[in-house]
Every structure is written in structure tokens, then in C-alpha cells.
Amino acid sequence: MEQKYDVIIVGTGAAGLFCALSLPRDKKILCISKDALDGSDSFLAQGGICMLRDESDYDSYFEDTMRAGHYENRKESVEIMIRSSQQIIRDLVGYGVEFEQTNGEFLFTREGAHSNNRILFHADVTGREITSKLLARVQELDNVTLMAHTTMVDWVCKDNICYGIVVADMDGRTTAVEADVTVLACGGLGGVYQHSTNFRHISGDALALALYHDVRLENCDYVQIHPTTLFTRQNGRSFLISESVRGEGAVLRDKDGNRFTDELQPRDVVSAAIYAKMKEQGTEHVWLDFSPIPKEEILNHFPNIYKHCVEAGYDPLTDWVPVVPAQHYFMGGIYVDKDSRTTMKHLYAVGETSCNGVHGRNRLASNSLLESLVFAKRAANDIAAQNNFEKAEHFEDLVNIDGYEDLPSIMEYYHAMVVSEIKKEARLRAQKEATA
């Protein structure tokens, strides 16, 4: 690994890859992944990606996003995301991403809390389709170095300026890598939860470093629970059953077979209804009934979900499927402005790592991929517009590599910091709302 780059991007999910593709080709870029290059939550996204249909859809799309977010969203960020959506989809198609079409026109589906069909999809593996194509395009670039199984351990910074990062390889060897700019695109924090739809290694390391280096965070207790994951007593990542299944007609039933809620409400409302029913009936899960959906649509629109359910012993064509809520998405994160700049100079954050205010208190379905791409491209454009970057006079003197020898303890410490911060923020917010 070379020791100096123009840009380091931490993470190879949709946000990190799209940022790399959106940067000028004369920039020397390093992209690292804590796991395999395809080991990001972006690959797991099932439902789809939102797009503004036309001008007549703008007001309802804006309102749907705000209402899902309990009107705590940053309006400027929401407007930027929606207004940018059509160009982002054009970019994706240009990179080879394929969305479902009929007679040469995009096919749109709908999910909970949307008042219109505005979600593009690729079967039930939209995230994999988008992210795999972005990864393939980045792998074609001569100016980008991709490194898997490489963990960010620290930032190299002084006087609130980021000069690079410290990374560890699979064997625990640490190296300091210098860069003009560092972009954090390392996902959320599902790895610190017992039940999560996220990969286990995505555990909020960037949030711990932000706490450690006094970089501003926002809404760290805004953690979204997805209402419907496949119930299992085994440990590991929870398998998500996309909201679009309910968007296409599936209904929730209690142990007596009764429908007990409106399945197309925002996720936090549906999750709360499920938890209440489980508590009332003393059950570990509720049931998802696919029967209102035509058989052909289940097999064609949701082949991956169908396969997983069958492997678990439940055939959605004939059986109700047991589902339970699980941690899914992080609306908070490292505070950024509309160009994805953090409060530390030369340090950007994009995707689930960042908090640009689009989602407010609760994310609207299928806004995550769009938001990630919109603000990753804005970060790239902002970086490209700059000419002068402050350099460290003696970069090597800013790092004590020997201080990173006990990596397991360091990562454990980071996880504890993140959990503590979430609990503290939740406690403070509860106290504030109780007295309001």
C-alpha cells in the first residue's frame, strides 16, 4: 500500500463507490473495506430506490419524507435529495444498473408511508444490482486502489484538520496513510445490536472516532427498527423481508389470524404495533400473510425473499411467515452540511455514517440508497472544486503506531463508546420530551 493519496474513502458500499466514480480521474484514490469489497449493507437493500416521477409528485414526496421523519428533517437536505433524484437515476443507468421496466418504461412500486408509486427496483435485490455495478465500474478505474479486509483504526489529525487515517490489515499490522481528504462511508451501527439486519462488522467505528476527536454528532439515538424480519432463534444477521411485500398487499396477522394494524404506516408505527401485539399475546413474533399477492408476482418480484423463507421452512405461497422487528437503519450519525462536510477540516461523511438531516427521526422507505448517492456525489463535487489542501509538515510525527498494538481492545472500546452514546442521547431526549 502506498502511503499518500489525494482521497481516502472508508467503505465500499453504494456511497463510497459512487463518491469514487464522481471524483475527477486525476485524483489518486484509496477505497478500503473492513470486510470483503461486497460486504456492505448496500448489497443487502431489497426494496428499491426512490425517484421523483414528475413535478406533480414533488409536494407529496416531500411531505411523505417529512411526515415519516416526524417533521424533524432538514428541509434543505430533503429538497436537494428529491431534486437530484432523476439525475442520480440517469447516472446509475449510465453505469449499467438495470431497473424493472415494462414496454421500455420504468416500473414503479410503492412502500409504506408513500402516497404514490415512485420506487424503482430490480426484483428484490435492488441494493445488490446497484452496488455490484458501481463496484464493477470502480474496479475499471486506473486511479482507484481497492483494499479489502482493511480496518480504519484512527484518524491522523491535529488542530481539527484531518491528514489521513491509520489502517490495520488482516494480520493486525497498522499503517498510517496520508491523504488530502478523507471520506467516511463506513455504514451504520447494526453490529452493536443483538438483532439487526446489518452485517455484524458494521459497528459504528467512525462514530467512536468522532466522539474521541470531538467531531460533531447528531441524533445518535435515532435508530430505526424494521418491522418485518424473518423470525429465527439463531444468532447472526436478521433476514429482512422488504416493505415492498406489504406495499404489494401482504398483511400482518396475530396468533389468532386477525389483522391488527395498517401495514403501510411508517416503520416506527408498524414496529410499535407489532411489539404491542407480541406483548399482549405473549408471543415471540407475529405472522406475515403473502396470500393477497398473486403467486406469479411473489415468484418474480420477490425471488430472493421467497427462497430464504422456503429455506427456513415457510413457503409464502401456502404458509404465513413468522416475522419480528429488528434494528435496521441509523438516521443519526456524524453531522454534515449539504456538501457532506463534517466539523473537521478535510473530513467528509456520506451514507449511513453521516447525518445530513434528510431522514429526521424515522426514514421513509427506499430513501436510503438515494440519499447516499446524492450526498456522496455532492461530497465529490465539493472536493473537486478545491485546489489548496493543508498538508502536515511532519505527517509521521502525528502518529504513534505502537499505540495500536492491541486492536481487539481498541475495537471493543469503540463499540462501548457507541453504545454508551446511544443510551445517553436516548435518556436525555426522553427527559427533555417528558418536561416539554
Catalytic positions, please? 267
Give CA–CA dist 372/167, Å, rounded: 24
Burial grade of 431 (CB within 10 A; 0-12, 13-18, 19 or more): exposed
Query: Burial of 71 by CB count in 10 Å (0-12 exposed, 13-18 middle, 19+ buried)?
Result: exposed
What residue type is 34 in one-letter code? K
- Whether 288 and 245 have beta carbons less than 8 Å apart is answered as yes
CB 225 within 8 A of CB 267: yes
* Amino acid (1-letter code) at residue 254: D
Centre a 10 Å sphere on the Cβ of residue 407 and count the other Cβ atoms it contains.
Answer: 14
| Nearest in space to 413 (alpha carbons), one of 177, 194, 184, 204 | 204
Beta bridge partners of 401: none
Question: 360: helix, coil or strand?
Answer: coil
Identify whether the C-beta of residue 73 lies closer than 8 Å to the C-beta of residue 65: yes
Pairing status of strand 174-184 against strand 347-349: parallel
CB 274 within 8 A of CB 286: yes
Neighbours of 68 (CB within 10 A): 26
d(Cα 161, Cα 225) in Å, to the nearest integer?
35
Three-class secondary structure of residue 34 per DSSP: coil
Dihedrals phi, psi of 208, to nearest 5 degrees: -60, -40
Quick one: how far is CA 278 from the chain centroid?
28
